[in-house]
Amino acid sequence: MNFEFRQRSSKINTVLISIIISIIIGGFIIAFAGHNPIGVYSKLIKGALGSKFAIASTIRWTTPILFTGVAAAFAFKGGMFNIGVEGQLYMGAFLSALVGYMIQGVPKPLHIFLCIVAGAIGGAMWALIPAISKVYFGASEMVVTLMTNYVAMYITDYLVKYHFLAGGAFGSTLVTKEIEDTAKLTKLWSNMSAHTGILFGLLMVFLFWIILNKTKLGYEVHISGINPKFARYGGVSVNKVRMSVILISGAIAGIGGSVEVMGYLYKFMSRFSPDFGFDGLAVALLGGNTPFGVLLGAVFIGIIKAGSLQVERATAVSRSLAMIIQGIIITFVSCKNMAIHVPMIKNVKNLFLKYSRKEKS
């Protein structure tokens, strides 16, 4: 059994039906928890779009997912299943936070640039392990990346606890020192959580589009993903492509981590990521691994995350509801035969209309 991931484009029909079904199932789960589904959903929408604060929150939650989504989508395009985005995010964030507070007295653009480079290096370095195991040892990158996720979380915890703890040996939370002001990204509006990282994220989506459609690398990635044998006959070094794809994917995830540190956290915090990596994976799958799809998906997830936070504040409904709804959506989106059932529904409707017309006459 091999886990070679084959690309599959999602039809719009399928995505829409999946979203509707998952909203309905989510409604049942909410009702089971003893809350009013319509109330919860309306609070969700309000919490995501209902006010300037809400929109800022949505922007804040969309930003990291733009990075992890592009990272995952880029890897998928190359036929590689990089689930290790979460771990690469952590490593990038950690290195970035270090560069953020250890380097002092440099102008802001330079400092931010250095932090981003550090993030990319951290992520790519962490992605080197699954890259080498896949290309030189033939191991399944899915299992290796999954395992490196957990290792990344533990290693960063260890590094913070024993070597980089803010407040010396008596620090109370697992955080590093706060980064210099010259490394912080400016907020879009004061007192709200959105920051200029969103611009970096959008730039990343744009770069993804350019690389994929306008460069030789993008072509090679595309072909290697769809049909590695054909790629090899065409002279593409599939091994080199796979290596670069995983490393670039890791670098992008690492940059995502560094943007999160520079724009919101201002330090490295242990276990800071509420599944940004898996959300990115979901977004890439939902969006069919295309740049525009990732953008839409990331905004969608950003809305759900921002909204579910507000819901958690206002009711007792946990924010993990968002995870459940996401999971249900992806489950149904991946079903090839979903769109087939739509004509069936049309047929049933026609039968029903015919029958009711007969009754009238």
Partner 1 sequence: MNFIYSLLMVTARISTPILLASTGAIYSEKSGLPNISLDAAMIMGSFMAVYGSFFYANSNIGILYAAIIGAIIGLLYGIVCVYLGGDETVVGISFNLIGWGLTTFLLPVIFGTTGSFVSSDIIPLAKASIPLLSSIPLIGGIFTNQTSITYFSWIFVIITSIFLSKSKMGMIVRTCGENPQAASTVGYNVKLTRLLCSIITGCMCGIAGAHLSIGLMAMFSEKMTAGRGFIALAAVTYAKADPKKVLFISILFGFSDALSNYLQLLNWPSDLILCIPYIFVVIFVVLDPFINNMKIKKIKALGENVSL
Q: Which stretch binds partner 1 (CB under 8 A): 40-48, 224-232, 239-247, 334-342?
A: 334-342
Binding to partner 1 (CB under 8 A) within 139-198 occurs at 139-140, 142-144, 146-151, 154-155, 157-158, 161-162
Of 337, 344, 356, 361, the one binding partner 1 by CB under 8 A: 337
Binding to partner 1 (CB under 8 A) within 237-276 occurs at 275
Q: DSSP label at 180?
A: P
Cα three-residue angle 195-199-203, rounded to 5 degrees: 155
Under the binding rule (CB under 8 A), the answer on residue 128 touching partner 1 is no
Question: Toward partner 1, which CB reaches closer, 152 or 247?
Answer: 152
**Distance separating alpha carbons of residues 329 and 253, to the nearest angstrom:** 23
Of 167, 237, 313, 327, the one binding partner 1 by CB under 8 A: 327
H or E element, residue 156: helix 141-162
Instruction: Please spell the DSSP secondary structure of 285-315, one letter per residue.
Output: HHTTT-HHHHHHHHHHHHHHHHHHHHHHHHS
**Distance separating alpha carbons of residues 13 and 30, to the nearest angstrom:** 26
Report yes or no: 141 and 80 within 8 Å, Cβ to Cβ.
yes
Q: How far is the CB of 159 from partner 1 (least distance, A)?
A: 9
**Distance separating alpha carbons of residues 59 and 61, to the nearest angstrom:** 5
Under the binding rule (CB under 8 A), the answer on residue 342 touching partner 1 is no
**Distance separating alpha carbons of residues 113 and 345, to the nearest angstrom:** 54
**Distance separating alpha carbons of residues 186 and 196, to the nearest angstrom:** 6
Of 336, 357, 358, 360, the one binding partner 1 by CB under 8 A: 336
**Distance separating alpha carbons of residues 300 and 44, to the nearest angstrom:** 12
Of 12, 105, 109, 137, the one binding partner 1 by CB under 8 A: 137
Question: Toward partner 1, which CB reaches closer, 146 or 202?
Answer: 146
Extract the tokens encoding 151.
């290792």
Under the binding rule (CB under 8 A), the answer on residue 33 touching partner 1 is yes
Q: How far is the CB of 161 from partner 1 (least distance, A)?
A: 7
Binding to partner 1 (CB under 8 A) within 55-114 occurs at 81, 83
Could you tell me which of 334, 355, 342 has the C-alpha nearest to residue 285? Answer: 334
Under the binding rule (CB under 8 A), the answer on residue 343 touching partner 1 is no
Binding site for partner 1 (CB under 8 A): 1, 3, 5-6, 8, 29, 32-34, 81, 83, 129, 133, 137-140, 142-144, 146-151, 154-155, 157-158, 161-162, 275, 278, 281-282, 285, 316-318, 320-324, 326-338
